[in-house]
Structure formats: C-alpha cells, structure tokens
Amino acid sequence: MIQGLFWSWAPWIYNNVSRGIVKIQKVARVVYNEFTVKKEWVFFKNVPVPVNSELFGGIEDTNVKWRCSVFPSRFTEPGFTLEKAKHLSYLGFVIKIDEKEIDLSNWINDVLYSGSEEPTVGEIFALWCCENGVSYFHCLDSIQVEYITELGDVVRKRA
C-alpha cells in the first residue's frame, strides 16, 4: 500500500519540484542580468531610432553618434574627452502627438551630455521612449516639440 502510494505520487512531486527549480533559475538569471548588464542605447549617424547594445554587442564607434545610458540618462559622444557632463539647456520640453501632450520638463532636467554639440530633440525624445518602454517611433514625422531655451525663448518644431 505504501509502495503503491509512493510510486503514484513520486513522479508528480519530482516533476513539480524540477519545474519550480527551472523557474527559480530563470528568475535568478534575469535578476542577475538586470543588475550586472549595462543598459546602453546607441544612436547611429543619420538613423533616428536607437539600437540596444545588449542585443548587438561589439558596435564600433566609427558610425556611432551617441552612446546613451539610462538611469541616469546621459548622452556620450564616442571619442569626446571632456569628463564633466553638461546639462541640456532646456527649461521646458513638451511633446505634442496629435491631440496628446507629453511633458518631459522634469525628466529633461536630469539628462546630461558629453559631446561637441547637444543632442537633437528627436534623439532626446527617442531616449525617453527607450527609458520608459513607450514606442512612438512610428509617428516621428508628425511629432511636434515645444521647448523653452535657457534664454526664455519658446521654440516649436518637428522632431
């Protein structure tokens, strides 16, 4: 009786325990990668959409315009030697997509860049999309950007 009970329940227990161990291993691997793998987005010259360096390793700097890290957001021009990063010179930054407005004024205060020129408004918006997991890349042609410069001028233009 006990032997029959053992033979009927042992495979079920073994299968569930082994499935649980596999799930724990997968979760541990994801958590480990989240903490150890550097989150970096790469902007190429003349390409508006960035590429995740995690998926495409070993990208050479010859055609790279910006290497961007998230949390904190930072644009870095490859080969630029200035160590101190500069803040973007925008006091306000609002994205208008059809009837929707996205205010990035608080977020843009934390964005830094190290390069010979500031990133474009399209690149700034693309990095925000990557950082927040929101995709507006399909409508980049219809996006209006309204920002306030450090001199107080309000500028409206397309991304």
pLDDT at 22: 93
Cα 35 to chain centroid distance, Å, stands at 15
Q: Is the pLDDT of residue 55 over 70?
A: yes
Q: Are 108 and 89 in contact (CB under 8 A)?
A: no
**pLDDT above 70 coverage of the chain, percent:** 98
* Residues 135-155 pLDDT 10s: 887 777 778 888 887 777 777
* Residues 89-119 pLDDT 10s: 888 888 888 888 888 888 888 888 988 888 8
pLDDT at 159: 64
- How sure is the predictor about 47, in pLDDT bands with cuts at 50, 70 and 90? confident
Written as one letter, the residue type at 104 is L
pLDDT at 21: 94
How much is the pTM? 0.71
Q: Are 51 and 44 in contact (CB under 8 A)?
A: yes
DSSP 70: T
Partners of residue 86 on adjacent β-strands:
113
Residue 88 neighbours by CB distance under 10 Å = 20
Select from 23, 53, 17, 30 the least CA-distant residue to 130: 53
- How sure is the predictor about 19, in pLDDT bands with cuts at 50, 70 and 90? very high
Q: Are 159 and 124 in contact (CB under 8 A)?
A: no
